[in-house]
Structure 1
Amino acid sequence: MTDHDSDSPIYEARLWKDDGWTARVIKNEDDDGWAVAMFKDGQSEPALVGPWTMGRDKKNPKPLDANAFSTLVKTASEVLRRHEQQLHATLNKSVVITAGDAALTVTLTIIPDEYEAYGILKAIDDQGNELVSKRVEPNFALTRASAIAWVNKAITE
Protein backbone atom coordinates (compact mmCIF):
# COMPACT_ATOMS: atom_id res chain seq x y z
CA MET A 1 0.00 0.00 0.00
CA THR A 2 1.17 3.54 -0.75
CA ASP A 3 1.56 6.31 1.83
CA HIS A 4 -1.06 9.02 1.30
CA ASP A 5 -2.05 12.30 2.89
CA SER A 6 -5.00 11.27 5.08
CA ASP A 7 -7.31 13.91 3.55
CA SER A 8 -6.35 13.34 -0.07
CA PRO A 9 -8.58 11.27 -2.33
CA ILE A 10 -7.13 7.90 -3.36
CA TYR A 11 -8.10 6.13 -6.56
CA GLU A 12 -6.31 2.79 -6.78
CA ALA A 13 -7.46 -0.55 -8.17
CA ARG A 14 -8.11 -2.00 -4.69
CA LEU A 15 -8.41 1.16 -2.58
CA TRP A 16 -10.63 4.21 -3.10
CA LYS A 17 -10.91 6.97 -0.54
CA ASP A 18 -13.05 10.02 -1.13
CA ASP A 19 -15.99 11.94 0.27
CA GLY A 20 -15.63 10.55 3.81
CA TRP A 21 -15.52 6.90 2.73
CA THR A 22 -12.89 4.25 2.00
CA ALA A 23 -13.51 1.18 -0.15
CA ARG A 24 -10.96 -1.58 0.26
CA VAL A 25 -10.99 -4.74 -1.87
CA ILE A 26 -9.83 -7.65 0.28
CA LYS A 27 -9.29 -11.37 -0.13
CA ASN A 28 -12.42 -13.24 0.96
CA GLU A 29 -11.39 -15.39 3.91
CA ASP A 30 -14.14 -17.95 3.25
CA ASP A 31 -13.25 -18.85 -0.33
CA ASP A 32 -11.05 -17.96 -3.29
CA GLY A 33 -13.05 -14.86 -4.14
CA TRP A 34 -12.79 -11.20 -3.20
CA ALA A 35 -14.81 -8.89 -0.97
CA VAL A 36 -15.08 -5.13 -0.60
CA ALA A 37 -15.20 -3.41 2.78
CA MET A 38 -16.63 0.11 3.12
CA PHE A 39 -15.37 2.25 6.00
CA LYS A 40 -16.77 5.60 7.09
CA ASP A 41 -13.92 7.96 7.95
CA GLY A 42 -12.99 7.68 11.62
CA GLN A 43 -14.53 4.22 12.07
CA SER A 44 -12.45 1.10 12.72
CA GLU A 45 -15.22 -1.34 11.75
CA PRO A 46 -16.61 -1.49 8.22
CA ALA A 47 -20.14 -0.24 7.63
CA LEU A 48 -20.55 -2.78 4.85
CA VAL A 49 -18.72 -5.87 3.62
CA GLY A 50 -19.87 -7.61 0.48
CA PRO A 51 -18.69 -9.85 -2.34
CA TRP A 52 -16.54 -8.29 -5.06
CA THR A 53 -16.40 -9.28 -8.71
CA MET A 54 -13.48 -11.19 -10.17
CA GLY A 55 -11.54 -9.58 -12.98
CA ARG A 56 -11.26 -10.93 -16.51
CA ASP A 57 -8.39 -13.22 -15.53
CA LYS A 58 -10.72 -14.97 -13.01
CA LYS A 59 -7.92 -14.70 -10.43
CA ASN A 60 -7.62 -11.05 -9.40
CA PRO A 61 -10.41 -8.68 -8.35
CA LYS A 62 -12.03 -6.26 -10.75
CA PRO A 63 -10.55 -2.78 -10.12
CA LEU A 64 -12.66 -0.22 -8.29
CA ASP A 65 -14.04 2.61 -10.41
CA ALA A 66 -16.11 5.77 -9.93
CA ASN A 67 -19.48 4.09 -10.59
CA ALA A 68 -18.79 1.16 -8.27
CA PHE A 69 -17.50 3.47 -5.53
CA SER A 70 -20.57 5.69 -5.82
CA THR A 71 -22.88 2.68 -5.54
CA LEU A 72 -20.94 1.35 -2.56
CA VAL A 73 -21.11 4.71 -0.78
CA LYS A 74 -24.89 4.88 -1.32
CA THR A 75 -25.37 1.32 -0.06
CA ALA A 76 -23.12 1.73 2.99
CA SER A 77 -24.78 5.06 3.85
CA GLU A 78 -28.19 3.39 3.73
CA VAL A 79 -26.96 0.56 5.99
CA LEU A 80 -25.73 3.11 8.54
CA ARG A 81 -28.97 5.11 8.30
CA ARG A 82 -31.07 2.01 8.93
CA HIS A 83 -28.85 0.99 11.83
CA GLU A 84 -29.24 4.45 13.41
CA GLN A 85 -33.03 4.30 12.94
CA GLN A 86 -33.17 0.86 14.53
CA LEU A 87 -31.00 1.99 17.45
CA HIS A 88 -33.16 5.10 17.96
CA ALA A 89 -36.33 2.99 17.92
CA THR A 90 -34.78 0.56 20.42
CA LEU A 91 -33.75 3.34 22.81
CA ASN A 92 -36.86 5.56 22.47
CA LYS A 93 -40.42 4.37 22.91
CA SER A 94 -43.69 6.20 23.57
CA VAL A 95 -47.37 5.55 24.14
CA VAL A 96 -50.31 7.92 24.31
CA ILE A 97 -52.72 7.43 27.20
CA THR A 98 -55.67 9.26 28.70
CA ALA A 99 -55.46 10.38 32.31
CA GLY A 100 -58.67 12.01 33.47
CA ASP A 101 -59.72 14.04 30.44
CA ALA A 102 -56.15 14.76 29.26
CA ALA A 103 -54.14 12.98 26.62
CA LEU A 104 -50.61 12.31 27.82
CA THR A 105 -47.61 10.97 25.99
CA VAL A 106 -45.47 8.68 28.11
CA THR A 107 -41.94 8.29 26.79
CA LEU A 108 -39.17 5.88 27.72
CA THR A 109 -35.65 6.85 26.77
CA ILE A 110 -32.92 4.30 27.43
CA ILE A 111 -29.55 5.80 28.29
CA PRO A 112 -26.98 3.23 27.20
CA ASP A 113 -24.00 3.07 29.51
CA GLU A 114 -21.38 0.36 29.58
CA TYR A 115 -21.51 0.16 33.37
CA GLU A 116 -25.00 1.26 34.40
CA ALA A 117 -27.61 1.70 31.69
CA TYR A 118 -30.92 3.17 32.79
CA GLY A 119 -34.17 4.54 31.45
CA ILE A 120 -36.00 7.83 31.89
CA LEU A 121 -39.77 7.62 31.97
CA LYS A 122 -41.65 10.89 31.33
CA ALA A 123 -45.28 11.94 31.13
CA ILE A 124 -45.82 14.89 28.78
CA ASP A 125 -49.07 16.80 28.26
CA ASP A 126 -50.44 17.84 24.87
CA GLN A 127 -48.71 21.26 25.17
CA GLY A 128 -45.33 19.53 25.53
CA ASN A 129 -44.96 20.17 29.25
CA GLU A 130 -43.24 17.49 31.29
CA LEU A 131 -45.55 16.57 34.17
CA VAL A 132 -43.47 13.91 35.89
CA SER A 133 -40.36 11.86 35.23
CA LYS A 134 -38.68 8.91 36.87
CA ARG A 135 -35.49 6.92 36.46
CA VAL A 136 -36.26 3.25 35.73
CA GLU A 137 -34.40 0.06 34.95
CA PRO A 138 -33.30 -0.19 31.30
CA ASN A 139 -35.49 -3.27 30.80
CA PHE A 140 -38.67 -1.43 31.88
CA ALA A 141 -41.47 -2.61 29.59
CA LEU A 142 -43.39 0.43 28.38
CA THR A 143 -46.92 -0.62 27.49
CA ARG A 144 -50.24 1.18 27.68
CA ALA A 145 -51.02 -0.63 30.92
CA SER A 146 -47.64 0.13 32.54
CA ALA A 147 -47.88 3.78 31.46
CA ILE A 148 -51.39 4.18 32.92
CA ALA A 149 -50.39 2.47 36.17
CA TRP A 150 -47.26 4.63 36.50
CA VAL A 151 -49.09 7.91 35.74
CA ASN A 152 -51.93 7.06 38.15
CA LYS A 153 -49.42 6.21 40.88
CA ALA A 154 -47.30 9.34 40.21
CA ILE A 155 -50.34 11.63 40.36
CA THR A 156 -51.47 10.23 43.73
CA GLU A 157 -48.00 10.50 45.32
Structure 2
Amino acid sequence: MNEQALSPDTDAAHAPVQEARLWRDERWTAEVIKNEDDDGWAVSMTLRGEAEPALVGPWTMGRDKKNPKPLDAPAFHTLVKTANEVLRRHEQQLHARLNKEVSVGAGSERIRVTLTIVPDEEYPYAVLKAQDEAGETLGEARVAADFKLNVDKADAWIESGYAARVR
Protein backbone atom coordinates (compact mmCIF):
# COMPACT_ATOMS: atom_id res chain seq x y z
CA MET A 1 0.00 0.00 0.00
CA ASN A 2 1.38 3.39 -1.04
CA GLU A 3 0.51 6.05 1.56
CA GLN A 4 1.16 9.75 1.01
CA ALA A 5 1.75 12.20 3.82
CA LEU A 6 -0.94 14.85 4.05
CA SER A 7 0.34 18.35 3.34
CA PRO A 8 -0.84 21.22 5.55
CA ASP A 9 -3.23 22.32 2.77
CA THR A 10 -4.91 18.91 2.51
CA ASP A 11 -5.05 17.91 6.15
CA ALA A 12 -7.85 15.76 7.58
CA ALA A 13 -10.03 18.81 8.28
CA HIS A 14 -10.26 19.47 4.53
CA ALA A 15 -10.21 15.92 3.20
CA PRO A 16 -13.23 14.89 1.12
CA VAL A 17 -16.02 13.29 3.17
CA GLN A 18 -19.12 11.45 1.97
CA GLU A 19 -21.26 10.50 4.94
CA ALA A 20 -25.01 10.42 5.50
CA ARG A 21 -25.08 13.81 7.25
CA LEU A 22 -21.78 15.36 6.12
CA TRP A 23 -20.36 15.81 2.62
CA ARG A 24 -17.25 17.81 1.83
CA ASP A 25 -15.26 18.50 -1.33
CA GLU A 26 -12.35 20.88 -1.90
CA ARG A 27 -14.61 23.96 -1.64
CA TRP A 28 -17.90 23.16 0.11
CA THR A 29 -19.18 21.39 3.22
CA ALA A 30 -22.80 20.25 3.43
CA GLU A 31 -24.03 19.33 6.88
CA VAL A 32 -27.47 18.04 7.82
CA ILE A 33 -28.43 19.55 11.17
CA LYS A 34 -31.41 19.42 13.52
CA ASN A 35 -33.76 22.32 12.83
CA GLU A 36 -34.01 24.17 16.14
CA ASP A 37 -37.35 25.77 15.17
CA ASP A 38 -39.31 22.53 14.68
CA ASP A 39 -39.02 18.76 14.54
CA GLY A 40 -37.46 18.76 11.09
CA TRP A 41 -33.97 18.90 9.64
CA ALA A 42 -31.96 21.53 7.80
CA VAL A 43 -28.86 21.48 5.62
CA SER A 44 -26.13 24.10 5.77
CA MET A 45 -23.65 24.81 2.99
CA THR A 46 -20.39 26.43 4.09
CA LEU A 47 -17.62 27.57 1.78
CA ARG A 48 -14.15 26.50 2.89
CA GLY A 49 -12.53 29.20 5.01
CA GLU A 50 -15.81 30.92 5.89
CA ALA A 51 -17.19 30.98 9.43
CA GLU A 52 -20.85 31.30 8.44
CA PRO A 53 -22.81 29.14 6.01
CA ALA A 54 -23.69 30.66 2.64
CA LEU A 55 -26.95 28.72 2.59
CA VAL A 56 -29.20 27.07 5.16
CA GLY A 57 -32.40 25.39 4.05
CA PRO A 58 -34.89 22.68 4.98
CA TRP A 59 -33.86 19.06 4.52
CA THR A 60 -36.11 16.12 3.69
CA MET A 61 -37.11 13.61 6.34
CA GLY A 62 -36.24 9.98 5.78
CA ARG A 63 -38.80 7.20 5.42
CA ASP A 64 -39.06 6.72 9.17
CA LYS A 65 -40.23 10.39 9.51
CA LYS A 66 -37.77 10.89 12.38
CA ASN A 67 -34.31 10.96 10.83
CA PRO A 68 -33.09 12.99 7.86
CA LYS A 69 -32.72 11.59 4.39
CA PRO A 70 -29.00 10.81 3.83
CA LEU A 71 -26.94 13.13 1.65
CA ASP A 72 -25.91 11.69 -1.71
CA ALA A 73 -23.96 12.87 -4.76
CA PRO A 74 -26.89 14.36 -6.72
CA ALA A 75 -28.19 16.22 -3.65
CA PHE A 76 -24.71 17.53 -2.81
CA HIS A 77 -24.15 18.78 -6.37
CA THR A 78 -27.54 20.51 -6.36
CA LEU A 79 -26.72 22.15 -3.02
CA VAL A 80 -23.32 23.31 -4.34
CA LYS A 81 -24.99 24.83 -7.41
CA THR A 82 -27.60 26.59 -5.25
CA ALA A 83 -25.01 27.90 -2.76
CA ASN A 84 -22.83 29.20 -5.61
CA GLU A 85 -25.86 31.01 -7.03
CA VAL A 86 -26.62 32.55 -3.62
CA LEU A 87 -23.04 33.84 -3.40
CA ARG A 88 -23.18 35.18 -6.97
CA ARG A 89 -26.41 37.07 -6.24
CA HIS A 90 -24.97 38.43 -3.01
CA GLU A 91 -21.88 39.70 -4.88
CA GLN A 92 -24.09 41.32 -7.54
CA GLN A 93 -26.19 43.06 -4.89
CA LEU A 94 -23.10 44.27 -3.05
CA HIS A 95 -21.58 45.56 -6.30
CA ALA A 96 -24.83 47.38 -7.17
CA ARG A 97 -25.00 48.90 -3.68
CA LEU A 98 -21.40 50.13 -3.81
CA ASN A 99 -21.29 51.30 -7.45
CA LYS A 100 -23.59 53.80 -9.14
CA GLU A 101 -23.39 55.33 -12.61
CA VAL A 102 -25.13 58.06 -14.63
CA SER A 103 -24.50 59.52 -18.09
CA VAL A 104 -24.70 63.23 -18.85
CA GLY A 105 -24.76 64.92 -22.26
CA ALA A 106 -25.45 63.59 -25.73
CA GLY A 107 -23.55 61.98 -28.60
CA SER A 108 -19.77 62.41 -28.53
CA GLU A 109 -20.18 64.82 -25.61
CA ARG A 110 -21.56 62.08 -23.33
CA ILE A 111 -19.78 61.89 -19.97
CA ARG A 112 -20.09 58.86 -17.70
CA VAL A 113 -20.02 59.69 -13.98
CA THR A 114 -19.47 56.83 -11.54
CA LEU A 115 -19.68 56.66 -7.77
CA THR A 116 -17.73 53.91 -6.02
CA ILE A 117 -18.33 53.51 -2.29
CA VAL A 118 -15.38 52.31 -0.20
CA PRO A 119 -16.97 50.62 2.85
CA ASP A 120 -14.16 51.22 5.35
CA GLU A 121 -15.38 50.33 8.87
CA GLU A 122 -14.01 53.50 10.47
CA TYR A 123 -13.99 56.07 7.68
CA PRO A 124 -16.19 55.05 4.74
CA TYR A 125 -16.03 57.31 1.69
CA ALA A 126 -16.84 57.29 -2.00
CA VAL A 127 -14.98 58.27 -5.17
CA LEU A 128 -16.76 60.25 -7.84
CA LYS A 129 -15.20 59.88 -11.29
CA ALA A 130 -16.02 61.35 -14.71
CA GLN A 131 -14.92 59.73 -17.97
CA ASP A 132 -15.46 60.62 -21.61
CA GLU A 133 -16.64 58.19 -24.29
CA ALA A 134 -13.05 56.95 -24.82
CA GLY A 135 -12.67 56.12 -21.11
CA GLU A 136 -10.34 59.06 -20.44
CA THR A 137 -10.67 60.35 -16.87
CA LEU A 138 -11.88 63.95 -16.84
CA GLY A 139 -12.21 64.43 -13.10
CA GLU A 140 -12.15 62.63 -9.79
CA ALA A 141 -13.22 63.66 -6.29
CA ARG A 142 -13.61 62.05 -2.89
CA VAL A 143 -17.11 62.45 -1.45
CA ALA A 144 -19.08 61.23 1.55
CA ALA A 145 -20.10 57.58 1.49
CA ASP A 146 -23.77 58.62 1.63
CA PHE A 147 -23.47 60.88 -1.44
CA LYS A 148 -26.54 60.36 -3.65
CA LEU A 149 -25.49 60.38 -7.30
CA ASN A 150 -28.07 61.55 -9.84
CA VAL A 151 -28.00 63.32 -13.20
CA ASP A 152 -28.48 66.79 -11.65
CA LYS A 153 -25.59 66.36 -9.21
CA ALA A 154 -23.35 64.89 -11.92
CA ASP A 155 -24.21 67.79 -14.24
CA ALA A 156 -23.47 70.35 -11.51
CA TRP A 157 -20.11 68.69 -10.79
CA ILE A 158 -19.19 68.73 -14.48
CA GLU A 159 -20.26 72.42 -14.74
CA SER A 160 -18.04 73.24 -11.74
CA GLY A 161 -15.02 71.94 -13.67
CA TYR A 162 -14.85 68.79 -11.55
CA ALA A 163 -14.42 70.64 -8.27
CA ALA A 164 -12.64 68.74 -5.51
CA ARG A 165 -15.48 69.53 -3.07
CA VAL A 166 -18.80 68.15 -4.21
CA ARG A 167 -22.16 68.48 -2.46
Q: Note the residue ranges of structure 2 that are not aligned, 5 or more in a row.
A: 1-10
**Which amino acid in structure 2 is aligned with residue 152 of structure 1?**
E
Give the match for residue 40 of structure 1: 47
- 2-structure distance, mates of 1:43, 1:65: 23
Q: TM-score by structure 2 length?
A: 0.87
Provide closer, same or farther for how the CA distance between residues 18 and 58 of structure 1 changes in structure 2, counting only shifts above 3 A: same
Q: TM-score by structure 1 length?
A: 0.93
1:57 maps to which of 61, 64, 83: 64
Q: Give the CA deviation at 1:44.
A: 0.6
Provide closer, same or farther for how the CA distance between residues 26 and 156 of structure 1 changes in structure 2, counting only shifts above 3 A: closer
Q: Note the residue ranges of structure 1 that are not aligned, 5 or more in a row.
A: none
1:17 aligns with 2:41: no
Q: Give the CA deviation at 1:76.
A: 0.4
**Which amino acid in structure 2 is aligned with residue 102 of structure 1?**
E
Q: How many residues align?
A: 154
User: What root-mean-square deviation, in Å, do the aligned CA atoms of Structure 1 and Structure 2 show?
Assistant: 1.8
What secondary structure sits across from 1:149 in the alignment?
helix
- CA deviations 1:88-117 (Å, max 9, x no partner) are 011111111018x61100000000111111
Q: Which has the larger strand fraction?
A: 1
Q: Give the CA deviation at 1:156.
A: 7.7
What secondary structure sits across from 2:24 in the alignment?
strand
Q: In the TM superposition, what are the counterparts of 1:1-157 in structure 2 within 5 Å?
A: 5-98=12-105, 102-155=109-162
Q: Give the CA deviation at 1:155.
A: 4.9
Paired-residue identity, %: 61
